[in-house]
Structures are given as structure tokens and as C-alpha cells.
Amino acid sequence: MIKNIVIVGGGTAGWMTAAALSRHLPEQCNVRLIESDQIATVGVGEATIPVIRTFNAGLGIDEQEFMRETNATFKLGIRFQNWGEIGEDYYHAFGYYGFPINDVSFHHYWMKMQKHPDTAPIHEYNMPYMASVYDKFEHKQFNNDSIDSRYFYAFQFDATLYAQYLRKWSEAKGVTRIEGKVTQVSQNNDTGFIESVTLESGECIEGELFIDCSGFRALLIEQTLKVGYKDWSHWLPVNRAWAVSTSYENNNTPIPPYTRARALTAGWQWRIPLQNRTGDGNVFCEQFLSEDKALDQLLENIEGKPINEPRLLKFNTGKRKKLWDKNCVAIGLSAGFLEPLESTSIALIQGAILLFIKNFPNKDFAPATENEFNRRMDIKYEESRNFLILHYHMTRRNDSEFWDYCRTMKIPEELQHRINIFRHRGHIAHKDSDLFIEHSWLEVLFGQGEKPGSYDPRVDTVEPQEVRRLLAEMKMDVARAAKAMPTHNETLARYCAGDLISNRNSK
């Protein structure tokens, strides 16, 4: 079997890969990771989605320790402001609208009853949504039968600290870290397989399998193997981001249990709350807004004070034509970049790692293994991409050229199909392979202001009086459960406080 694995690049992708490989592969495998302290990692992906917990649990990571070490906060969802139209506000919360009635999804009943005076806006039937509105969070195990624990959570953390944490973890498991910059890559003359990389110091590192975690540089997969890039910027036109960290206004500032995404004139601004600071950034399209103006826009809109110099990131949305080619697999930004709106970056890294481990090659690198990995990763990227496009396209905004473009652009057929299905009578065409659950699609479609023409006809077989009663009951249960929850700040202080937060709260 393959025993010599070389990971080029540290950062979130590199160390997540190293940790998972060292956990999963037998001891005789030699995993080495080359990184340079001189190359800064991007570390933008500070917000995650609930699947991250599966990854951490797979490594056997202690959640409290991990949260302390990475300044992590809990995340119940994403708050979208000004997306459907300026002034609108909705959450994509990691949970459900109500319970199904007679096997038919709750929202069909709501759609029928929405004009009735007793019917509340649909989000009032969604537990994590309401908890987010009140900055509440309680640490609970998911239970589908009970409204007060029928939600998932993820984390917002400092990606640089997460990489450091996993580095410690991986090194303890036997991963070797090599400091240095790769200056040369050698390929086999006949097969084109990568045989070794040479560092600035002249040291030559040989390997049987190379994992490209070199970020946007894509040192191996693109610069060496030239697999090509599928450009998706016509669907996801943002291509720049200004990122800055800001302090909280004061020690009592509520820490929201969600990431905020506020749409601006040529993109959107993120606010990711950590225990000790927030990460802020303006993601925009340079063709519609200059870099200078975008920076001004960012600084105008932040709430606390900047605590570092804003950094500019440049990217092109899309993905490599092949994530696995010959004896090289690209994971992370080297594989592609969508954009941070739905925090899919780390989830895609995780997906790639798990799929790669499942399809870990033999020495002969049989084509079926590579094909399977590439086939499944294409599906994952395309589905995430479609979910992101949905946010931009489903808008009524006409206040800038950027939004005019997004609103009127032609979207991928598969996404158009899903939208059409929803428009007709509120069905969600969901797939097992989707990164997000059915209700995530529902929340975004409703949130962006989409209104289906009709509802599932089975709804009419239940007495309207009974529907009203059940709706009222669910609304009351959600309100009661949300009210009973501690605030996110309280939960953090109790469960996972790093030094900073305990100081903040004790002052």
C-alpha cells in the first residue's frame, strides 16, 4: 500500500487533511506536511455548518477544549439582511419549520393558512430561527420529536487557531511538519506522476501521493499538472473580499449565535462573531465596485473598532476540472472556491477528505478510484454552487447594476428546475447528496420572498379548524422553548469559555 504521503500547504485544509489521515491510516503510513511560516494562510472560512461536528467527533476531539482553543462560538444559522429587497431580513437556521401533519410538510399547511389572522409569519414556527432572533443558545443533542431540541448547530471559530489546534493534534499522532517553501516539483517523464518536491533549502521530498493544500496558488494540481479551471464567475460574480477583525463594543455586547450576511450594492458583508472579536468582511465584484470604495463600505458598516489592517483577497469562483489527477489530490482553495456566503468552504474540505479516505488509492492508482472521487466531488461542488446562486438570483433588488445582473442572469438548468418545482406548489426537489437539508432550501426560498402558486392538495383533507389548532400549538411551543433558553453569552461562559470571555463576563 501507499506509505509515503506529502501534503503541500498547511492552513485549515492542510491540517484537517493531516489530522484525518493520521487518524485513519495505519501507523506505517508516513504523513508529512510542508508549510512555510512566511506564507500567510487565508483563514477566511471562520463559519461552519453542522457537519463539522461529524468531522471533529471522528477525530475524537473534545468539544469544550476545541472551542476554548479556537475562540469558538455556537452557530444556529445565518442571518440574511437586504437580500430579497432592501429592508428585508431572514435567517437560514439549522432546523425545521414546524412538524409535518399526516406526512405532509408543515409549510404546505402554513401556505394555505397564511392569510388567516391567527397565522404567524412562518419563522415563528422555527425553533433555531427564534432562538437566533433573541441571541439565545442552549447546548443540546438533536431530538426530532421534541421541539426544544430539534435543531443542529455548528461553530464560528478562528480558522488559524483551528489549524494550529489540529497541527498539535496531528503532530502528536506522528505527522511530520516540514518548514519550507516548495520551489520545484519533479514529475516522472513517462507518466507525469509527481515524484518529489524541492524546498528552498534544497531539500528534496519524495512521495507516492501528494495532496495539494497550497491554497489559491494550486501549486501541484494547476501549476504542475495543469488540470484547468471551470470558471463559474458568470453565476457567482463576486471576486474580491476585504477582511478585517473588529473588537466588541463592550463586554456586554451580545454575541449572536449566527453569522450575519448583509447584502450591499455589489456583494455582501459578513460578520462572524467569535468569543473575543468578530471577523468582518466585504465580498464584492470588482467590475461593479472599486476596491477602495469597497473598503470604505466595509469600514462604514462595522460595529466595533478594527483591530488589524484590512486585507484584500482576490479570487475567481469556480473549481478545478479535476480535483484528483494522477497521484495528486487537491483539497481546499486549491480545488476551487465558491464564496463564503453559506460557509461551505470547510464543509467541502471535509467532504473531500472523507471521500478521499474512502477511496484511498492503491499503488497502481486504478482509474475507477480517481473517477469516483471526481464524480462525487463534482456533485458536491455543483450542488453547493447552485444553493449559493439561489441567494443572488432570487432577489427583487434593482438598486444597482450588480443586482440587476444577478436577478436577470441565466442560471444552471438544475437550479431552475428546483425553483420551478417550488414555485408551482411549494415542493422541494431534494437529493441525498445535498450538503443542506430540505428545510435549508425552504428557508432560503421563503426568505428571499418566493411564493409558491399553490400547496400540496393533501392539506385540504385536514379540517381547517384542526390545522389552526396545530399551528397555534406549534407556535406556542417554539416561543416557550426559545424563551426558556439561556442567552448565547451565558452558554458560552458556562460551557466553553476561553480566558477572554470569562474575563469579559466577570468584569
Partner 1 sequence: MNNKEINSIIIVGGGITGVTVASAIAKSLPQIKITLIGKDNDKSEALSMLPQIHEFHRQLGIDEKALMRATQATFKLATIYQDWNNLGHRYTQPLGPHGAATEFVGFHHFATKMHQLGDKTAYGEYALSAVAAENNKFAHPLNDPSSIFSTMAYSLHIDATLYKQYLGNHLLQGNINFYTENVIDVCLDENNGFIKSVTLENGKNLKADLFIDCSGKDATLIEKALGFSLEDWSCWLPANRVLSVSIKSKGEVMPYTQVSGKTNGWLRQVPLLNTVEREFVFNSEEVSIPEATEIITTGLSQTTFTEPSLREIYSGQRKQHWHKNCIAFGSAAGEFESLEVSNLQLTQKAVQRFINLFPDQSCNQTLVNEYNRLTKLELDNIRDNTILHYLSVTKKDSTIWNQWRQHSLPESLKHKVSLFNIHGQIASYEHETFYDGYQASTFIGLNMWPDKYDPFLDSFDIENLKQRFNYLRAAIRDTVTKMPSHRHYLENFVH
Q: Are strands 229-231 and 176-179 parallel, antiparallel or unpaired?
A: unpaired
Q: Is 216 among the residues that bind partner 1 (CB under 8 A)? A: no
Identify how many contiguous H helices and E strands the chain contains and give both numbers. 15, 21
55 φ, ψ (degrees, to nearest 5): -65, -50
- Cβ nearer to partner 1, comparing 314 with 375: 375
- Cβ nearer to partner 1, comparing 38 with 362: 362
Among 160, 186, 198, 369, binds partner 1 (CB under 8 A): 369
Q: Is 328 helix (H, G, I), strand (E, B) or coil?
A: strand
Q: Is 24 among the residues that bind partner 1 (CB under 8 A)? A: yes
Q: Is 87 helix (H, G, I), strand (E, B) or coil?
A: coil
Name the one range near partner 1 by CB under 8 A: 31-39, 43-51, 218-226, 418-426. Answer: 418-426
Name the one range near partner 1 by CB under 8 A: 69-77, 166-174, 362-370, 494-502. Answer: 362-370
Could you tell me if 407 and 397 are in contact, meaning their C-beta atoms sit under 8 angstroms apart? yes
Size of the site for partner 1 (CB under 8 A): 38
Integer Rg of the chain from CA: 23
Task: Give the span between the Cα atoms of 100 and 95, in whole angstroms.
Answer: 13
Name the one range near partner 1 by CB under 8 A: 60-68, 80-88, 186-194, 358-366. Answer: 358-366
Could you tell me if 282 and 269 are in contact, meaning their C-beta atoms sit under 8 angstroms apart? yes
Q: Is 226 among the residues that bind partner 1 (CB under 8 A)? A: no
Q: Is 152 helix (H, G, I), strand (E, B) or coil?
A: coil
Q: Is 319 among the residues that bind partner 1 (CB under 8 A)? A: no
Cell numbers standing for residue 344: 461551505
Task: Give the span between the Cα atoms of 357 and 12, in whole angstroms.
Answer: 17
Could you tell me if 329 and 373 are in contact, meaning their C-beta atoms sit under 8 angstroms apart? yes
Please, what is the minimum distance in Å from the beta carbon of residue 417 to partner 1? 6
Among 116, 417, 469, 483, binds partner 1 (CB under 8 A): 417
- Cβ nearer to partner 1, comparing 234 with 424: 424
DSSP 29-84: -EEEEEE-TTSPP-----B--TTHHHHHHHHT--HHHHHHHTT-EEE-EEEEESSS
Q: Is 451 among the residues that bind partner 1 (CB under 8 A)? A: no
Name the one range near partner 1 by CB under 8 A: 128-136, 201-209, 304-312, 365-373. Answer: 365-373
Q: Is 453 among the residues that bind partner 1 (CB under 8 A)? A: yes
Task: Give the span between the Cα atoms of 266 and 282, in whole angstroms.
Answer: 9
Strands (E), 315-472: 318-320, 324-325, 328-330, 336-337
The number of beta carbons lying within 10 Å of the beta carbon of residue 228 is: 12
- Cβ nearer to partner 1, comparing 105 with 156: 105
Among 4, 30, 43, 58, binds partner 1 (CB under 8 A): 58
Q: Residue 11: name the closest of 155, 197, 160, 173 by CA.
A: 160
Q: Is 26 among the residues that bind partner 1 (CB under 8 A)? A: yes
Q: Residue 183: name the closest of 207, 208, 195, 201 by CA.
A: 201
- Cβ nearer to partner 1, comparing 205 with 357: 357
**SS3 labels along 222-279:** HHHCCCCEEECCCCCCCCEEEEEEECCCCCCCCCCCEEEEEECCCEEEEEEECCCCEE
- 314-339 in b/e form (b: 16+ CB < 10 A) is ebebbbbbbbbbbbbbbbbbbbbbbb
Please, what is the minimum distance in Å from the beta carbon of residue 428 to partner 1? 10
Q: Is 460 among the residues that bind partner 1 (CB under 8 A)? A: yes
Among 372, 401, 404, 490, binds partner 1 (CB under 8 A): 372
Please, what is the minimum distance in Å from the beta carbon of residue 89 to partner 1? 27
Among 457, 480, 483, 499, binds partner 1 (CB under 8 A): 457
Q: Is 99 among the residues that bind partner 1 (CB under 8 A)? A: no
Name the one range near partner 1 by CB under 8 A: 181-189, 275-283, 327-335, 414-422. Answer: 414-422
Name the one range near partner 1 by CB under 8 A: 59-67, 81-89, 356-364, 386-394. Answer: 356-364
Please, what is the minimum distance in Å from the beta carbon of residue 352 to partner 1? 15
Query: Cβ contacts of residue 477 below 8 Å, gap of 6+?
Result: 147, 148
Q: Is 141 among the residues that bind partner 1 (CB under 8 A)? A: no
- Cβ nearer to partner 1, comparing 205 with 421: 421
Among 190, 292, 432, 463, binds partner 1 (CB under 8 A): 432
Among 359, 384, 448, 491, binds partner 1 (CB under 8 A): 359
Among 226, 234, 424, 483, binds partner 1 (CB under 8 A): 424
Among 420, 476, 483, 494, binds partner 1 (CB under 8 A): 420
Q: Is 427 among the residues that bind partner 1 (CB under 8 A)? A: yes
Among 103, 145, 292, 309, binds partner 1 (CB under 8 A): 103
Q: Is 172 among the residues that bind partner 1 (CB under 8 A)? A: no
* Sequence letter at residue 358: K
Task: Give the span between the Cα atoms of 180 and 91, in whole angstroms.
Answer: 43
- List contacts with partner 1 (CB under 8 A): 1, 24-29, 58, 103, 354, 357-360, 362, 366, 368-369, 371-372, 375, 417, 420-421, 424-425, 427, 429, 431-433, 453-454, 456-458, 460-461
